[in-house]
């Protein structure tokens, strides 16, 4: 099973776009998205230095545009992609890439949102000098306790041996003087304490804009940074992405979901390397492919053919699916089992996982067409549970 992942801020390096822009089709598509974002991304991806592209207002649209246009190079016929992709996930701002790739939002909507996200996060970062430091190695409990002692947030939990601390520069300096045993500290090239309460003003701004964004249910499983759950309601995908600006990224839980799905191959969109590096350490035996340059495209397509299989999630204009957010045991709600029509937001049951019980609702509501599981069945992330015919549909 194939998972496509999109990296977050910090993955960019000076000049990484040069070989991609040699292709006229890539260049024209990229220039279109740069125009939508109203940022000269061509110059920033080819000529700008590391300090310039570190700027949140530049780095974030640069990453999203690159991932989206590279996806069209990898899958020239987008509809064919969903016969191969089992799930998508993006790290931090990469969630916008993943959402657009899964067709929950359009590429143009993603570019407007990432422009406003980057501008708002840069403004929030300017209020108080903040930053982020990767804590590599050490005992997990001791690492988290040390961060808490210094008032820092574990803004990214990326899996075994990699937690990213975020907070004020004073707090990070105190951490440098009091590092957890057997841990190595690596300051990150980012402009602020992302995924912490320092970013709350940015959430408020992007939330107001997101109310006007039309969404669609994604064409494949979307694994959420918030908790690793599979999300199949387009509105919820967008709501989570916006809220994540000020909430920690739980990439460790995303990796757990990939393992639950039975992933055999992970392909990272350019500028690639960060997430495949994490996957190699966390998911032993899973093949990875870091797509960095266009001369790798044929090999990347072969990788997708080798590991690809269609997602069990489907979309149709005449019915909708309710799917399981996690791996566990499904329990049907008595009221849902006893009715033929469910209102929007009605609970249909819950999934008992190893950690907790996750409620499942019918986001859109409608006429019950078919239950696809029974009470007490074991389910996997993204597995269809119930088929609904939308009320008022022809």
Q: End-to-end CA distance of the chain, in Å?
A: 35
Q: Output the pLDDT for position 354.
A: 83
Torsion angles phi and psi, residue 131, rounded to 5? -165, -170
Q: Provide the pLDDT for residue 190.
A: 80
Phi, psi of 332 (to 5 degrees): -80, 135
CA distance 150 to 154: 11
Per the residue annotation, which of 44, 91, 195, 307 is the catalytic one? Answer: 195
User: Domain locations in the chain?
Assistant: 2-124+197-307, 127-187, 320-389
pLDDT of 315 reads: 55
Nearest to residue 196, comparing CAs of 164, 155, 158, 228?
155
CA dihedral 144, 88, 267, 109 (to 10 degrees): -100
Residue 209 in tokens: 């804009």
- What average pLDDT does the structure give for the chain? 94
What's the whole-model pTM score? 0.93
Q: What are the residues whose beta carbons fall under 8 Å from the beta carbon of 334, sequence distance 6 or more?
A: none
What's the pLDDT score for residue 265? Answer: 98
Q: What is the pLDDT of residue 204?
A: 96
Instruction: Measure the CA–CA gap between 53 and 45, rounded to whole angstroms.
Output: 8
What lies within 8 Å, CB to CB, of 28 at 6+ separation is none
Q: Is 195 part of the annotated catalytic residue set?
A: yes
Taking CA 301 as the corner, what is the angle to CA 6 and CA 3, rounded to the nearest 5 degrees? 40
pLDDT > 70: percent of the chain: 97
Given a contact cutoff of 8 angstroms between Cβ atoms, the answer to whether 163 and 186 are in contact is no
DSSP string for residues in 163-225: EEEEEEHHHHHHHHHSPPTTEEEEE-S-SS-TTSGGGHHHHHHHHHHHTT------SSEEE-T
Which residues neighbour 283 within 8 Å (Cβ) at sequence distance 6 or greater?
A: 255, 258, 259, 263, 266
Give the chain's radius of gyration (CA, Å). 21
Question: With 80 as the cut, is the pLDDT of residue 367 above it?
Answer: yes
What is the tens place of the pLDDT at every residue in 218-234?
Answer: 999 999 999 999 999 99
Q: Which residues pair with 371 in a beta bridge?
A: 386
311 included as an active-site residue:
no
- Fold annotation for 2-124+197-307: Malonyl-Coenzyme A Acyl Carrier Protein; domain 2 (3.40.366)
Q: How far is CA 278 from CA 13, 25, 94, 162, 257, in A?
A: 18, 32, 15, 9, 15
Structure-model confidence comparison of residues 10 and 331, the more confident one: 331
8 Å CB contact between 389 and 369: yes
Question: Which entry of 48, 92, 311, 353 is annotated as an active-site residue?
Answer: 92
State mean pLDDT over 205-224.
95
pLDDT tier for residue 314 given thresholds of 50, 70 and 90: low
Q: Kindly indicate the confidence band of residue 394, based on its pLDDT and cuts at 50, 70 and 90.
A: very low
Structure confidence by residue, pLDDT tens digits, 285-308: 999 999 999 999 999 999 999 999
CA distances from 1 to 237, 280, 337 (A): 22, 16, 32
Residue range 137-190, pLDDT digits in tens: 999 999 999 999 999 999 999 988 899 999 999 999 999 999 999 999 999 878
Report residue 393's pLDDT band, with 50, 70 and 90 as the boundaries.
Answer: very low
Say if 2-124+197-307 and 127-187 have the same CATH topology.
Answer: no
Query: Which CATH number is associated with domain 127-187?
Result: 3.30.70.250
CA distances to 36, 269, 335 from 52, in Å: 20, 22, 57
Mean pLDDT along residues 88-112? 97
How many CB atoms lie under 10 A from the CB of residue 182? 12
Q: Express each pLDDT in 230-250 by its tens digit.
A: 999 999 999 999 999 999 999
Say which CATH class 320-389 falls into. Answer: mainly beta
Give the H or E element holding residue 305: helix 297-307
Predicted confidence at residue 52, as pLDDT, reads: 95
């Amino acid at each position: 099973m194939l998972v496509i992942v999109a990296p977050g801020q910090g993955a960019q390096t000076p000049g990484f776009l040069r070989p991609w822009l040699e292709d006229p089709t890539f260049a024209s598509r990229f220039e279109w998205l740069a125009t939508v974002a109203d940022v000269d991304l061509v110059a920033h991806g080819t000529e700008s230095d590391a300090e310039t592209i570190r700027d949140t207002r530049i780095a974030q649209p640069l990453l999203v545009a690159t991932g989206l246009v590279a996806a069209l190079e990898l899958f020239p016929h987008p509809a064919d992609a969903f016969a191969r992709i089992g799930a998508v996930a993006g790290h931090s701002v990469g969630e916008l890439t993943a959402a657009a790739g899964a067709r929950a939002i359009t590429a143009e909507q993603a570019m407007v949102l990432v422009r406003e996200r980057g501008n708002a996060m840069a403004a929030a970062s300017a209020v108080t000098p903040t930053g982020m430091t990767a804590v590599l190695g050490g005992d997990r409990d001791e690492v988290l306790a040390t961060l808490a002692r210094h008032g820092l947030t574990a803004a990214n939990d990326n899996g075994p041996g990699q937690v990213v601390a975020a907070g004020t520069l004073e707090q990070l300096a105190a951490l440098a003087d009091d590092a957890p045993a057997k841990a190595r500290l690596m300051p990150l090239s980012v402009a602020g304490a992302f995924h912490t309460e320092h970013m709350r003003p940015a959430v408020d701004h992007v939330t107001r804009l997101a109310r006007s964004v039309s969404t669609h249910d994604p064409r494949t499983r979307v694994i959420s940074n918030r908790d690793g759950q599979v999300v199949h309601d387009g509105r919820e995908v967008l709501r989570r992405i916006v809220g994540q600006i000020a909430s920690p990224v739980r990439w460790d839980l995303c990796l757990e979901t990939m393992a639950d799905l039975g992933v055999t191959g992970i392909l990272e969109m350019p500028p690639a390397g960060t997430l495949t590096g994490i996957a190699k350490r966390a998911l032993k035996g899973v093949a990875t492919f870091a797509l960095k340059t266009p001369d790798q495209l044929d090999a990347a397509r072969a990788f997708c053919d080798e590991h690809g299989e269609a997602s069990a999630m489907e979309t149709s204009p005449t019915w909708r699916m309710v799917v399981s957010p996690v791996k566990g045991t499904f329990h049907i709600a008595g009221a849902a089992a006893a009715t033929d029509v469910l209102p929007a937001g009605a609970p249909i049951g819950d999934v008992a996982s190893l950690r907790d019980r996750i409620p499942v609702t019918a986001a859109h509501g409608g006429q019950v067409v078919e239950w696809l599981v029974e009470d007490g069945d074991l389910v996997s992330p993204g597995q269809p549970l119930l088929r609904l015919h939308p009320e008022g549909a022809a």
